[in-house]
Amino acid sequence: MQKSPTTSPFTVVIPARMASSRLPNKPLADIAGLPMVVRVAQRAAQSQAKQVVVAADDARIVQACQLHGVTALLTRQDHLSGSDRLAEACQLLGLGSDDVVVNVQGDEPLIRPELIDEVAFLLTQRPEASMSTAAHTIGSLQEFMNPNVVKLVMDARQMALYFSRAPIPWWRDGSSDGSMQTLPHPAPLRHIGIYAYRSGFLSLFPNLLPAPLETMESLEQLRALWHGHGIAVHLTDQAPGPGVDTPEDLERVRQLLS
């Protein structure tokens, strides 16, 4: 197993909300005897984080976390996004503006603790970046063409240029009749939905006007790029474990952890 980098102290915050159109009460879904959000927090606790906190919109989530020894905060129910919830959690925790916060999604019970460390470490090494995230290479044309798979392109410094649901970069010479026949070379990149921020940027982010590109693609990270904030990208050779968005995803993860 690859050894995680040693990094400065950081906090993991896991936003969790009960409302989910495809999987009601998703944070409390049972996975091998534990609520999913507790599973995520336990994985995150294996990282080098100095603290792991669930930021919940419902007292039932807080109670479930406390029952299993997981720190949880009750945040407002009217937040429009997970980053808004993170910003409130940073205020409640009294974090300083330079403190690093890693946003771990509450539906990633198989997240690698090493990936959390790597994304946090990258941000500490890139003072010109407001955020950091992760990506891995795409191995199939089907995945590349899937609009539910978010792709990204980078510059020479491994800073994100753009994120899209469309297949980017589009290989002109690998397409005919408007359809891609084979994967571009070098291989395109799939975005992994984990982010590290500095607490001060998180307090600023909810006040930035939503970007037209963000609205069009339904990708919140495009707001940061639109307003000139850099996003550093960690490249990993390991694809993430499956997340949980649907009942079918939940059953798949249950089988893996049973």
Q: Which CATH class is domain 10-138+191-257?
A: alpha beta
User: Quick check: 123 and 196 in contact, CB under 8 A?
Assistant: yes
Residue type, position 6, single letter? T
The token pair that represents 17 in the structure block: 């909300």
Q: Can you list the residues of the chain whose pLDDT is less than 70? A: 1-7, 21
User: Quick check: 29 and 23 in contact, CB under 8 A?
Assistant: yes
The reported pLDDT for the residue numbered 1 is 45
The reported pLDDT for the residue numbered 4 is 59
- Domain map (residue ranges) of the chain: 10-138+191-257
User: Quick check: 203 and 97 in contact, CB under 8 A?
Assistant: yes
3-class state of residue 58 by DSSP: coil
The reported pLDDT for the residue numbered 21 is 67
pTM of the shown model: 0.91
